[in-house]
Amino acid sequence: KQISRLVDARLERSARNCCMSSVQFDKEGRLVLAAGSDGNMRLSQIDGENSNATRVQTVSLPNCEISQAAFMPNGSEVIVANGTQFVYSYDLVNNALVKAGPFPKWEDRRFYNFEVSPDSSTVALVSNNRGYILLVSPKMKEKVGILRMDEDSQARSVAYTDCGNQLLSTDGSGHVYLWDLRTRRCVNKTIACLDNAPLCTSLDSSLFAVASSDGFVNMYDRSEFVSGSSEPVKVIDGLTSCTSVE
């Protein structure tokens, strides 16, 4: 299947000097969300013919740099992390910005990235130290659970799988963990690469991929991993580098 490049989406002039940390389409592909170092979330409507981006809304978070922003699966809300102990949600329907946090006993934690479960019931927040992952209810904005990797590790990436019943996580040492969210227990753990390891899962949850900055991507069969296997089913190499997978 061939891939062809379209015309670049052009945001307004004020965004050109901003370092973008997040770019995402909504589920209909009609809106594009762009957020970054200037603390602004830009929601723009894309013209399908010439890819012009017409600004619909700009939401500003004062005195912060946005590290990640993403649509909820239903498309009516945006979750935002900015490297502080707070997490924001923006209601697109009611044009309302809500700040959640700091969470009890987590006042000193900083959250830089997150992942939303497929059914929108929980958000997994990646803490800045000690391998903690905080599970939060986006509806009530309350803590509902905690996962902890090795004490000396730093959580890097998370991804839901198995319809939201399981969560994958990686740390700065290249380990990948598989969690059963019904029991909050680690099902399996292995070394997948040598450093910071972004990851993603397939739409049917049968596979997941772990990438490394040295250009390797390891692909695993999730059912085999649950059974204790730590061997990848495929390795993609020869890339110059890899900072994210999707």
How far is residue 130's CA from residue 182's CA, in Å, rounded to a whole number? Answer: 22
Q: What is the DSSP string of 23-60?
A: EEE-TTSSEEEEEETTSEEEEEEEPTTT-BEEEEEEEE
What pLDDT was estimated at residue 221? Answer: 92
Q: Is 227 helix (H, G, I), strand (E, B) or coil?
A: coil
Residue 126: φ, ψ to 5°: -90, 120
What pLDDT was estimated at residue 110? Answer: 87
Residue 31 CB contacts under 8 Å (≥ 6 apart), including other chains: 25, 43, 44, 45, 46, 56
Specify the DSSP class assigned to residue 84: B
pLDDT < 70 regions, the chain: 1, 4-17, 48-52, 128-129, 193-197, 240-246
**How many angstroms from the chain centroid is the CA of residue 219?**
19
Q: Is 11 helix (H, G, I), strand (E, B) or coil?
A: coil
What pLDDT was estimated at residue 8? Answer: 66
Q: What percent of the chain has pLDDT over 70?
A: 85
CB 121 within 8 Å of CB 164? yes
Kind plus residue range of the DSSP H or E element containing 159? strand 155-161
pTM for this entry? 0.85
